[in-house]
Chain A
Amino acid sequence: MIELAFRYLLARRRQTVLMLLGFFFGSAAFVLLSGIMLGFRYYLVYQLINNDAHVHIQAREEFLTEHSLDASFYGMLTGRVFWNVPPSGKKDSDLVENPQAWYERLEKDPRVVAYTPRLSTAVLFSKGKATATATLIGCDPKSQTQVTTLGDYVTEGKFDALALGGNQIAIGERLRKKLGVTLSQNVLVSVAEQKPVPFKVVAIFSTGNQIFDEQAYGSLEDVQAVNQTPNEIDEIAVRLVDYKSSSAVAKSWSLLSEEKIESWDQKNANIYSVFRIQDAVRFLSIGSIMIVAGFGIYNVLNITVIQKRKDIAILRSMGYTTRDIVLIFFAQGLALGIAGTTLGLLFGYAFSFFLETIRIGAGPLGIGVDHLIVSREFPIYLQSAFLALSSASLASILPAATAGKLTPIEIIRSSSE
């Protein structure tokens, strides 16, 4: 039966090639589009996982509501207070309370690889006439390089030098450019109205991420001193053994404490909704190519069944069963689907290597790779094959069933008239 199906296909070469092309393009497009989308996505997620902590433990941000201050001013008994200008804003203390308890907890937790207490503060950097406001992050330099991959991006100097203390900083490449400083030069750092303090640049890092590259790091003590908040921290950054467990771990910790605990994926939840939209677009657009390809097969097979009525009659008169006839026509459609998809997947696979050689500037999110990243992971190919083959099977089964239902006598009667 299958061989007969192939003979029919070979006899109609041009039509066969056209139908095949539908699935070829559909699956190649799916594989490449998905590869580019997912390649970029994995790169982005990789960056998120490695350039930032897995879990952030931060001071709870409390926003004031209209009645937040009623009790403090008028006591618990006051039923209703009307403000001329209702209170608004944020509670002042944005510091992690009792960090010591956290250190003990994190020390004991086997899921934790490393953690570092941090204090971030907005400062004004200046070097001669050049000034820039940026975030200065105080950290434990040794732990910081274990919590994130920042240490890998140091282009000049040594990040660990910060550990020595004595007002040294590691500075991001973009910030360095803005200030026009080079390694071992000094910059002035000032917080609010206070007297500027000189810091020596001991390391320069370039992650490719604009936000990171406009920050600077110092030792926790130095930053606390500049900020005039000794012993205070506003965040503990944690790296876990398994980044995938981040949100679960964050959840379990938030049951234990007052602090705001956010995993990397919660922090970047908006990116995930973009991913979902991308997925929808990907499946819909390629799905429609597959549907069009399916309709191609459906139409051609329907016409073939009509053209081959006499063949069906003669085959049935030789003892070919309904099943045999269904198989002959179904196999034609499925064979096209399989052939087109296989070629499309192979082409997509090969072409993805070429795509990776295409040079691009840093991406829209400032992620610094200079070429396209195309994912070639197996599930993409599986999804593509599944989409194409379900479309091909659906499109073939209907005409094939019609062919199977024809009885020889009907065909003979109608064609002799």
Chain B
Amino acid sequence: MGIRTLNLTKTLGDPPTPILKNISLEIQDGDYVSVTGRSGSGKSTLLYLLSSLDHTLEGKVEIDGQDVNQMSAEALSLFRNKKAGFVFQFHYLVAELTAMENVLLPARKSGGISKRREIATTLFEQFGLKDKIHRLPRHLSGGEQQRVAIARALVMEPRYLFADEPTGSLDSENSEIVLNLLEKANEKQKTTLILVTHDPGFSRRARRQIHLVDGQFITP
């Protein structure tokens, strides 16, 4: 099914400035898309529109054939909980909870914690965090925190993975580790990966590249 946009336009600020202009694109299930562009070009704005966190009345976004603007609050909540995973530049972990508890947060919302705990344990092993499961975020390095955040995004085995500069605050070694984990989910689980990045090297690894200029995209 995938995600489809039709004449998507987003205007922000005062005076209203169009950030995205008439964007129509289609992302297939299992795709790996990178979004690049200089700072302020609207990469994040596009990602949040595609992922249902943001919405606009000009043009439309369809996720799995459903118009986001028509979806009820419950449907949105269900989609975000079961089908979408988010990774942000700053790894937004809840400071009061341990790594494992952070990863299990989505499961706490919808139940089935014990099954998810197994998946989480496997993820911690794969991510090289086996001995850090019960640490609080402040006792983890930035790279480790971001890996925990990725585990949290993957624990519900989502169909879509939205990553906004997930390597933005990491050194090159950690960036490589993090990107590999995301790509592996795309390869193994066939999770649709939409990756916003500054790094042209990373961008080129995607199956499809979207480059934003003046609110419109060009595919190199």
**A residues lining the B interface (CB < 8 Å):** 3-4, 7-8, 10-11, 310-311, 313-322, 324, 408-409, 412, 415-416
**B80/A7 in contact, CB under 8 A:** no
Out of A318, A409, A412, name the residue touching B80 (CB < 8 Å): A318
Q: Please provide the chain B residues from 41 to 100 with a CB less than 8 Å away from any CB of chain A in the complex.
A: 44, 48, 53-54, 73-74, 76-82, 84, 86, 88-90, 92, 94-97
Q: Chain A at the B interface: mostly helix, strand, loop or mixed?
A: helix
**B96/A319 in contact, CB under 8 A:** no
Is B30 part of the binding interface, using a Cβ–Cβ cutoff of 8 Å?
Answer: no
Is B110 part of the binding interface, using a Cβ–Cβ cutoff of 8 Å?
Answer: yes
Is B109 part of the binding interface, using a Cβ–Cβ cutoff of 8 Å?
Answer: yes
Of chain B, the residue at the smallest CB distance from A12 is: B96
How many whole Å from A49's CB to the nearest CB in chain B? 58
For this complex, 10 residue pairs linking A to B, each with C-beta atoms less than 8 Å apart, are: A4-B108, A11-B96, A314-B88, A316-B80, A317-B84, A319-B76, A320-B77, A321-B73, A412-B88, A416-B90
How many whole Å from B107's CB to the nearest CB in chain A? 9
**B80/A317 in contact, CB under 8 A:** yes
**A412/B108 in contact, CB under 8 A:** no
**B105/A409 in contact, CB under 8 A:** no
**B94/A314 in contact, CB under 8 A:** yes
Out of A3, A315, A409, A415, name the residue touching B53 (CB < 8 Å): A409
**B109/A317 in contact, CB under 8 A:** no
Answer whether A310 and B108 are a contact pair too, CB < 8 Å, given A320-B77, A412-B53: no
* A363, B173: Cα distance in complex, Å: 82
- Complex contacts, B53 vs chain A, CB 8 Å: 316-317, 408-409, 412
* A409, B54: Cα distance in complex, Å: 6
How many whole Å from B43's CB to the nearest CB in chain A? 12
* A14, B101: Cα distance in complex, Å: 23
Is B106 part of the binding interface, using a Cβ–Cβ cutoff of 8 Å?
Answer: yes
Pick from A4, A11, A316, A319 the residue with the most CB of B within 10 Å. A319
* A11, B101: Cα distance in complex, Å: 14
* A315, B107: Cα distance in complex, Å: 11
Answer whether A416 and B89 are a contact pair too, CB < 8 Å, given A8-B96, A11-B96, A315-B105: yes
* A11, B94: Cα distance in complex, Å: 11
- Complex contacts, B79 vs chain A, CB 8 Å: 319
Out of A314, A318, A322, A412, name the residue touching B81 (CB < 8 Å): A318
* A310, B95: Cα distance in complex, Å: 10
- Complex contacts, A310 vs chain B, CB 8 Å: 90, 92
**A319/B92 in contact, CB under 8 A:** no
How many A-B residue contacts, CB cutoff 8 Å? 63
- Complex contacts, A319 vs chain B, CB 8 Å: 76-82, 106, 109-110
Of chain B, the residue at the smallest CB distance from A318 is: B106
Of chain A, the residue at the smallest CB distance from B86 is: A317
Pick from B48, B76, B96, B110 the residue with the most CB of A within 10 Å. B96
* A317, B92: Cα distance in complex, Å: 11
Answer whether A11 and B106 are a contact pair too, CB < 8 Å, given A319-B80, A409-B53, A412-B48: no
- Complex contacts, B101 vs chain A, CB 8 Å: 7
- Complex contacts, A7 vs chain B, CB 8 Å: 96-97, 101
How many whole Å from B12's CB to the nearest CB in chain A? 9
**B44/A416 in contact, CB under 8 A:** yes
How many whole Å from B108's CB to the nearest CB in chain A? 7
- Complex contacts, B96 vs chain A, CB 8 Å: 7-8, 10-11
Of chain B, the residue at the smallest CB distance from A3 is: B108
Pick from B74, B106, B110 the residue with the most CB of A within 10 Å. B106
How many whole Å from A324's CB to the nearest CB in chain B? 7
How many whole Å from B161's CB to the nearest CB in chain A? 12
- Complex contacts, B74 vs chain A, CB 8 Å: 321
What 8 pairs between A and B have smallest CB-CB spacing?
A319-B81, A319-B80, A11-B96, A314-B92, A409-B54, A319-B77, A318-B106, A317-B86
* A10, B76: Cα distance in complex, Å: 31
* A7, B98: Cα distance in complex, Å: 11
* A4, B92: Cα distance in complex, Å: 16
Of chain A, the residue at the smallest CB distance from B95 is: A11
- Complex contacts, A317 vs chain B, CB 8 Å: 53, 80, 84, 86
- Complex contacts, A409 vs chain B, CB 8 Å: 48, 53-54
Q: Please provide the chain B residues from 82 to 139 with a CB less than 8 Å away from any CB of chain A in the complex.
A: 82, 84, 86, 88-90, 92, 94-97, 101, 105-106, 108-110
- Complex contacts, A412 vs chain B, CB 8 Å: 44, 48, 53, 88
How many whole Å from A330's CB to the nearest CB in chain B? 17
- Complex contacts, B109 vs chain A, CB 8 Å: 318-320, 324
* A347, B71: Cα distance in complex, Å: 52
